[in-house]
Every structure is written in structure tokens, then in C-alpha cells.
Amino acid sequence: MAKGLNHMVDLLELQKRFILAHLCPGDVAVDCTMGNGNDTAFLSQTVGPTGRVYAFDIQEAAVASTCAHLQAVGCPENYTLIHASHHLIKEYVHEAPKAVMFNLGYLPGSGKKQVTTMRETTMEAVFGAVELLANDGILLVAVYPGHEEGRLEGEMLKEYFATLDRRLICCSCFQIVNSPTSPYFFIVEKK
């Protein structure tokens, strides 16, 4: 193996590269599953003080954890943390975001693996996000097929993304082929 090429793909770094190809200072971004705030912080720091970030989570612990994390890493006060389901995206976001991120599954470190994103609300949230997405915007959905609901969410999203008009939207999937239960992600880019 060539020197420097003996490392595995880092999915999180790859996701950030795709987002950074679309998101600039001053833009609007949405984190539909704030969790512990890592994606929210990344989006907040990327859009900077003149940008805006909206972040959703149904768990109060996620909102509190995210708020503490954003303050600890010195994010600009450009974010709105929303203690509600992401399927309500169109009720809270009235601007066209340049980037929308979903990190499906359960809240890491919560010990509540039974509280996960669900197909019904995920589908409504993704549909709303696609409608809101700005031209030259990106929607990134990380899927965790290692649990049944995650596997079903991934199948549902693949079917939906396959129906979108290729002339307006490009949908891609990045998956490690020889590890079928590993996380993977969809990228939806609006022309």
C-alpha cells in the first residue's frame, strides 16, 4: 500500500467536506438532529456571526447538552435551539438553508437507545428540508442500519430519493460496501 494511503475512510470528515463545498459565512443551516451538538457547532462556526443555524431535538437532554457544548467551544450566538421534532422544520425555518444535516438514530451517551428517530417523522422532516433547500444547497442524512428502525429509515429514504427529478436535484449515497451495518450517508444537492 502506498505511503499515506493506509487509513480508513473517516465518514465524519467526509461529511464535513461535502457540507463545506456548499456552506459559506452568512448562510443559513439546519441541524435536524442536534444530539450532543457536534454538528450544530460545526454549522455555527462555518456560517459565522452573520449566519444562522436552527437545530432540532425532541429530548431536553440533547438541547441542554448542545447549549453547553456550543458555549464551551466558543460558537457565535447565531443559533436557535428548538426542543421539538424535526418534522416541524417548516414551522420554524422560514429561510432557504444552504445546508441541512440529519444524524439519525439515538442520542449518543444517553443510555436511551429505545428513543430513536422514526420513519414517519424522519420522512416528513426530509421532505420539508428538500422543499426548503436553497439552490446550490446540500442535504446530508447519516443513517445507522445497525438497528432495525435505522435499517428501515435507510430503505425508505433510498426509495424517496430515487424519485426526485435528476434535472433539479442530485442524490448520492456513500456506503462502505463490505460493512453493511456500518453507518452511511445520503447527499442531496439542489442545482
Determine the structural domain holding residue 32 and report its residue range. Answer: 11-190
The answer on pLDDT for 1 being more than 50 is no
As given in the structure block, the three cell numbers for residue 75 are: 460558537
Please state the rounded mean pLDDT for residues 27-40.
95
Q: Is residue 107 part of a domain?
A: yes
Average pLDDT over residues 116-125: 79
Length of the chain: 191
pTM given for the model: 0.90
Question: Is the model's pLDDT at 179 over the cut of 90?
Answer: no
Task: Kindly report the CATH number assigned to the domain that includes residue 121.
Answer: 3.40.50.150
- pLDDT above 80 (res 9): no
For residue range 69-85, list pLDDT tens digits in order: 999 999 999 999 999 99
Say how many domains are in the chain: 1
Q: DSSP code of 134?
A: P
- The pLDDT value given to residue 144: 85
C-alpha cell recorded at residue 133: 433547500
The four Cα atoms 157, 80, 89, 21 give a dihedral, to 10 degrees, of -40
Render 120-174 in DSSP notation, one character per residue. Answer: HHHHHHHHHHHHHPPTT-EEEEEE-TTSHHHHHHHHHHHHHHTTS-TTTEEEEEE
pLDDT at 110 over 70: no
The verdict on residue 161 lying in a domain is yes
- Establish if 6 belongs to a structural domain: no
Q: Does residue 2 belong to any structural domain of this protein? A: no
Q: Please indicate, yes or no, if residue 3 is contained in any of the structural domains.
A: no
Residue 85 falls inside a structural domain: yes
Least reliable range by pLDDT among 5-9, 46-50, 103-107:
5-9
Residue 1 falls inside a structural domain: no
- Residue 105: the pLDDT is 72
pLDDT of 174 higher than 90: yes
C-alpha distances in Å from residue 30, one per residue of 4, 5, 163: 34, 34, 23
* H or E stretch at 89: helix 89-92
Is residue 4 a part of any domain in this protein?
no
* Position 4 pLDDT exceeds 70: no
Instruction: Please give the average per-residue pLDDT across 169-177, as a whole number.
Output: 92
Q: What is the structure's pLDDT at 117? A: 66
